[in-house]
Amino acid sequence: MRILVINPNTTTAMTDQIVAAACRVAAPDVEVVGTTVEMGPAAIESYIDESFAAVEVVRAIACEPRFDGYVIACTNDPGLYAARELVSAPVVGIGEASLLQATLLAPTFAVLTTLARAEQQVWQQLRAYGLAQRCVWVGATGVGVLETASSEASVADAMVTAGRIAVEQHHAEAIALGCAGMADVVRALRDALDVPVIDGVGAAVSLVDGLVRCSHRTSKVRTFAPPVEVHYRGVPRPFGGDDER
Amino acid sequence: MRILVINPNTTTAMTDQIVAAACRVAAPDVEVVGTTVEMGPAAIESYIDESFAAVEVVRAIACEPRFDGYVIACTNDPGLYAARELVSAPVVGIGEASLLQATLLAPTFAVLTTLARAEQQVWQQLRAYGLAQRCVWVGATGVGVLETASSEASVADAMVTAGRIAVEQHHAEAIALGCAGMADVVRALRDALDVPVIDGVGAAVSLVDGLVRCSHRTSKVRTFAPPVEVHYRGVPRPFGGDDER
Amino acid sequence: MRILVINPNTTTAMTDQIVAAACRVAAPDVEVVGTTVEMGPAAIESYIDESFAAVEVVRAIACEPRFDGYVIACTNDPGLYAARELVSAPVVGIGEASLLQATLLAPTFAVLTTLARAEQQVWQQLRAYGLAQRCVWVGATGVGVLETASSEASVADAMVTAGRIAVEQHHAEAIALGCAGMADVVRALRDALDVPVIDGVGAAVSLVDGLVRCSHRTSKVRTFAPPVEVHYRGVPRPFGGDDER
Amino acid sequence: MRILVINPNTTTAMTDQIVAAACRVAAPDVEVVGTTVEMGPAAIESYIDESFAAVEVVRAIACEPRFDGYVIACTNDPGLYAARELVSAPVVGIGEASLLQATLLAPTFAVLTTLARAEQQVWQQLRAYGLAQRCVWVGATGVGVLETASSEASVADAMVTAGRIAVEQHHAEAIALGCAGMADVVRALRDALDVPVIDGVGAAVSLVDGLVRCSHRTSKVRTFAPPVEVHYRGVPRPFGGDDER
Amino acid sequence: MRILVINPNTTTAMTDQIVAAACRVAAPDVEVVGTTVEMGPAAIESYIDESFAAVEVVRAIACEPRFDGYVIACTNDPGLYAARELVSAPVVGIGEASLLQATLLAPTFAVLTTLARAEQQVWQQLRAYGLAQRCVWVGATGVGVLETASSEASVADAMVTAGRIAVEQHHAEAIALGCAGMADVVRALRDALDVPVIDGVGAAVSLVDGLVRCSHRTSKVRTFAPPVEVHYRGVPRPFGGDDER
Amino acid sequence: MRILVINPNTTTAMTDQIVAAACRVAAPDVEVVGTTVEMGPAAIESYIDESFAAVEVVRAIACEPRFDGYVIACTNDPGLYAARELVSAPVVGIGEASLLQATLLAPTFAVLTTLARAEQQVWQQLRAYGLAQRCVWVGATGVGVLETASSEASVADAMVTAGRIAVEQHHAEAIALGCAGMADVVRALRDALDVPVIDGVGAAVSLVDGLVRCSHRTSKVRTFAPPVEVHYRGVPRPFGGDDER
E60 phi and psi angles, rounded to 5 deg: -65, -40
Q: How far is CA B98 from CA B178, B193, B201, F8, in A?
A: 8, 18, 8, 51
Among the listed residues D130, D141, D136, the one whose alpha carbon sits nearest the alpha carbon of residue D109: D136
Alpha-carbon gap: F117 to the closest alpha carbon of chain A (Å): 26
d(CA A60, CA A62): 6
Q: What is the mean pLDDT of residues E54-74?
A: 97
Instruction: Specify the DSSP class assigned to residue A127.
Output: H
Among the listed residues D69, D71, D43, the one whose alpha carbon sits nearest the alpha carbon of residue D57: D71
pLDDT, one tens digit per residue, over B229-239 is 999 999 887 76
What kind and span of H or E run contains A112? Answer: strand A109-113
Question: How high is the pLDDT of residue B243?
Answer: 35
Question: How high is the pLDDT of residue C152?
Answer: 83
Q: Report the mean per-residue pLDDT for chain F.
A: 94
Contact between residue E127 and residue A133 where contact means Cβ atoms under 8 Å apart: yes
Provide the pLDDT confidence category of residue A153 given band limits of 50, 70 and 90: confident
d(CA C17, CA C34): 10
Q: How far is CA B82 from CA A39, A51, A238, B77, C134, in A?
A: 18, 7, 22, 11, 19
Q: How far is CA A239 from CA A81, A230, C210, in A?
A: 14, 10, 41
pLDDT, one tens digit per residue, over C89-116 is 999 999 999 999 999 999 999 999 999 9
Residue F174 has pLDDT above 70, yes or no: yes
Q: Report the mean per-residue pLDDT for chain A.
A: 95
d(CA B90, CA B80): 11
Computed from CA positions of residues D95, D101, D105, D108, in that sequence, does the dihedral angle turn out positive or negative? positive
Alpha-carbon gap: D234 to the closest alpha carbon of chain E (Å): 31
Q: What is the mean pLDDT of residues B38-47?
A: 96
Provide the pLDDT confidence category of residue F216 given band limits of 50, 70 and 90: very high
Provide the pLDDT confidence category of residue C235 given band limits of 50, 70 and 90: confident
C229 phi and psi angles, rounded to 5 deg: -70, 125
Question: Around F205, how many Cα atoms within 13 Å sit in the side-chain half-sphere?
Answer: 32
pTM of the predicted model as reported, rounded to 2 decimal places: 0.96
Counting residues of chain D whose pLDDT is more than 70, the rounded percentage is 97
pLDDT, one tens digit per residue, over C10-23 is 999 999 999 999 99
d(CA C49, CA C146): 14
Question: How high is the pLDDT of residue E242?
Answer: 39
- Angle, vertex CA D12, rays to CA D7 and CA D16, nearest 5: 80
Among the listed residues C121, C165, C120, C123, the one whose alpha carbon sits nearest the alpha carbon of residue C141: C165
Question: How high is the pLDDT of residue A151?
Answer: 75
Question: How high is the pLDDT of residue D238?
Answer: 73
Q: What is the mean pLDDT of residues D30-51?
A: 97
Query: Which residue of chain D has the CA closest to B171?
Result: D116
Residue C29 has pLDDT above 80, yes or no: yes
Q: What is the mean pLDDT of residues A194-218?
A: 98
> Concatenated DSSP letters for E101-139?
HHHHH-S-EEEEESSGGGHHHHHHHHHHHT-GGGEEEEE
CB of B199 within 8 Å of a chain A CB? The answer is no
Q: What is the mean pLDDT of residues C194-212?
A: 98
Residue F233 forms beta bridges with which residues? E40
> With a CB-CB cutoff of 8 Å, which residues 115-144 of chain D face chain B?
116, 119-120, 123-124, 127, 132
d(CA E38, CA E56): 7
Alpha-carbon gap: F139 to the closest alpha carbon of chain B (Å): 21
pLDDT, one tens digit per residue, over B9-30 is 999 999 999 999 999 999 999 9
Residue F245 has pLDDT above 60, yes or no: no
Compute the count of residue pairs across chains D and F with CB atoms less than 8 Å apart: 9
Strand order in the sheet with C2-7: C31-36, C2-7, C69-72, C91-93
Query: Which residue of chain F has the CA closest to B138?
Result: F171
Residue C206 Cα to chain centre, angstroms: 12
Q: Count other Cβ atoms within 10 Å, centred on residue B190.
A: 17
Q: Report the mean per-residue pLDDT for chain D.
A: 95
State the Cα torsion F94-F98-F100-F102 to the nearest 10°: 180
Question: How high is the pLDDT of residue C241?
Answer: 39
Q: Count other Cβ atoms within 10 Å, centred on residue A19.
A: 20
Report the range of poorest mean pLDDT among A174-183, C232-241, D146-155, E187-196. Answer: C232-241
Contact D120 B133 (CB under 8 A): no
- Close Cβ partners of A124 (under 8 Å, ≥ 6 residues apart): B128, C107
Query: Which residue of chain D has the CA closest to F138?
Result: D171
Question: How high is the pLDDT of residue C239?
Answer: 62
Residue C243 has pLDDT above 50, yes or no: no
Question: How high is the pLDDT of residue D149?
Answer: 87
Alpha helices in chain B (DSSP H): 12-25, 47-63, 80-86, 94-105, 119-129, 145-149, 153-164, 186-193, 200-213
The ipTM (two decimal places) reads 0.95
Q: Mutate which of F45, F48, F50 to test chain E, going by most E C-beta atoms within 10 A?
A: F48
CB of D108 within 8 Å of a chain F CB? The answer is yes
Q: Which partners does chain C have (≥3 C-beta pairs < 8 Å)?
A: A, B, D, E
d(CA D221, CA E167): 9
Strand, coil or helix: what is F10?
coil
d(CA D20, CA D33): 10
Counting residues of chain E whose pLDDT is more than 70, the rounded percentage is 97
Among the listed residues B64, B54, B59, B140, the one whose alpha carbon sits nearest the alpha carbon of residue B93: B54
Computed from CA positions of residues B14, B16, B17, B23, in that sequence, does the dihedral angle turn out positive or negative? positive
Question: How high is the pLDDT of residue E239?
Answer: 62
d(CA D241, CA C174): 43
Computed from CA positions of residues E138, E141, E147, E150, in that sequence, does the dihedral angle turn out positive or negative? negative
Strand, coil or helix: what is A51?
helix
- Close Cβ partners of A224 (under 8 Å, ≥ 6 residues apart): A81, A84, A85, A218, B117, F106, F107, F173
Q: Mutate which of A52, A113, A122 to test chain B, going by most B C-beta atoms within 10 A?
A: A52
Counting residues of chain C whose pLDDT is more than 90, the rounded percentage is 92
CB of E181 within 8 Å of a chain F CB? The answer is no
Question: How high is the pLDDT of residue A241?
Answer: 39
Q: What is the mean pLDDT of residues A90-95?
A: 98
Query: Which residue of chain C has the CA closest to A120?
Result: C107
Residue D18 has pLDDT above 70, yes or no: yes
Contact D107 F120 (CB under 8 A): yes
d(CA B119, CA B111): 9
Q: Do chains F and D touch (3 or more CB pairs under 8 A)?
A: yes
Question: How high is the pLDDT of residue F239?
Answer: 62
CB of A232 within 8 Å of a chain B CB? The answer is yes
Find chain B residues with C-beta within 8 A of A15's C-beta: none
Contact B127 A124 (CB under 8 A): no
d(CA A128, CA F133): 9
pLDDT, one tens digit per residue, over B44-83 is 999 999 999 999 999 999 999 999 999 999 999 999 999 9
Question: How high is the pLDDT of residue A216?
Answer: 98
- Which has the higher per-residue pLDDT, D4 or E150? D4
Q: Mutate which of E113, E120, E121, E125 to test chain A, going by most A C-beta atoms within 10 A?
A: E120
Provide the pLDDT confidence category of residue A243 given band limits of 50, 70 and 90: very low
